[in-house]
Amino acid sequence: MTDIAPGTEQDERAASGPPSRPSPLHRFGPLLLGLSAIVPPLLMLREVLRYPQMHFYDYWWVLLDLTNDDGTLRPEALLGFRNEHPFVLPSLLFWLSARYGDGLNQPLGLVIIAFGVISVLLVRAMLPEGLNRWQRAGLVAATSTLVFNPHGIHNYVRSMSGASWILALMLVLAALLAMQRNHRVWAIVFGLLASISYGTSFAVWPALALIAWLRGDRRRWVAAPLAVGVVVVLSWLVLRGPQGGGGASPTDDPAQALLAGLSMLGMVWTGTEPAIALIAGVAGLAVLVAHAQQTPEQRRSAAPWWGLAVYAVGCAVMISGSRAAFGESAGLQSRYNSMTAALWIALLVIVVAWPKLPKLRTVTVAGTVLATVALGAPMAQSVRSDAPNQDLLAIAARIGHPDAFTDRFPEPDRLLPRLQALGHYPFSPEFTLGCPDGLEIGDRVSTANWRTPSQGALREPRPDGWDVVLNVETDEVQGGARMLKGWAISGIERASCVAVLDQSGTVIGGGVVDIPRSDAEAQTPGIEIGLGFEAVAPAQPGLLRVAFHFPDGWWIRPLTENPQVAS
H helix runs in 272-295, sequence order = 274-290
Percent of the chain predicted with pLDDT > 90: 60
AA identity, residue 297 = E
Contacts of 30 (CB under 8 A, 6+ apart): 133, 134, 136, 137
Q: Give the pLDDT of residue 246.
A: 45
**pLDDT > 70? residue 345:** yes
**pLDDT > 60? residue 406:** yes
**Residue length, the chain?**
567
Q: Looking at residues 338-358, what average pLDDT do you find?
A: 90
Q: Is residue 257 very low, low, confident or very high in pLDDT (cuts 50, 70, 90)?
A: confident
Q: Looking at residues 398-410, what average pLDDT do you find?
A: 93
Residue-averaged pLDDT of the chain: 87
Q: Looking at residues 304-315, what average pLDDT do you find?
A: 96
- pLDDT tens-digit series, residues 40-84: 999 999 999 999 999 998 899 999 999 998 889 999 888 888 878
Cβ count near 26 (within 10 Å): 14
Lowest mean pLDDT segment, chosen from 7-21, 23-37, 266-280, 551-565: 7-21
**What angle, 0 to 180 degrees and rounded to 10, lies between the N-to-C axes of helices 361-375 and 337-353?**
160
Q: Give the pLDDT of residue 19.
A: 59
Among the listed residues 313, 316, 271, 42, the one whose alpha carbon sits nearest the alpha carbon of residue 156: 42
Continuous segment of H or E residues that includes residue 85: strand 85-86
Q: Residue 483 carries which DSSP code?
A: E
Residue 507: strand pairing partners:
501
420 or 460, higher pLDDT: 420
Q: Residue 22 carries which DSSP code?
A: P
Q: With beta carbons less than 8 A apart as the criterion, state whether 182 and 275 touch.
A: no
Q: Looking at residues 446-471, what average pLDDT do you find?
A: 69
- Start-end ranges of CATH 2.60.40.10 in the chain? 432-558
315 or 80, higher pLDDT: 315
**pLDDT > 60? residue 17:** no
334 or 207, higher pLDDT: 207
Lowest mean pLDDT segment, chosen from 3-12, 58-67, 363-372, 465-474: 3-12
**pLDDT > 90? residue 253:** no
- Tell me the C-alpha distance between 502 and 542, whole Å: 8
Cβ count near 247 (within 10 Å): 10
- pLDDT tens-digit series, residues 535-555: 999 998 889 999 999 988 999
Q: Classify residue 17 as left (phi > 0), alpha (psi -120 to 50) or beta.
A: left
- pLDDT tens-digit series, residues 273-286: 888 989 989 999 99
**pLDDT > 90? residue 183:** yes
432-558 CATH, one of 3.40.30.10, 3.40.50.300, 2.40.50.140, 2.60.40.10? 2.60.40.10
Among the listed residues 244, 89, 272, 226, the one whose alpha carbon sits nearest the alpha carbon of residue 165: 89
Q: Looking at residues 346-353, what average pLDDT do you find?
A: 93
Q: Give the pLDDT of residue 239.
A: 85
Lowest mean pLDDT segment, chosen from 70-74, 251-255, 430-434: 251-255
- pLDDT tens-digit series, residues 509-536: 999 999 998 888 777 766 668 899 999 9
AA identity, residue 212 = A
- Tell me the C-alpha distance between 265 and 313, whole Å: 8
Q: Is residue 371 very low, low, confident or very high in pLDDT (cuts 50, 70, 90)?
A: confident
AA identity, residue 95 = W
- Number of H-type helices and E-type strands within the chain: 21, 12
Q: With beta carbons less than 8 A apart as the criterion, state whether 550 and 490 touch.
A: yes
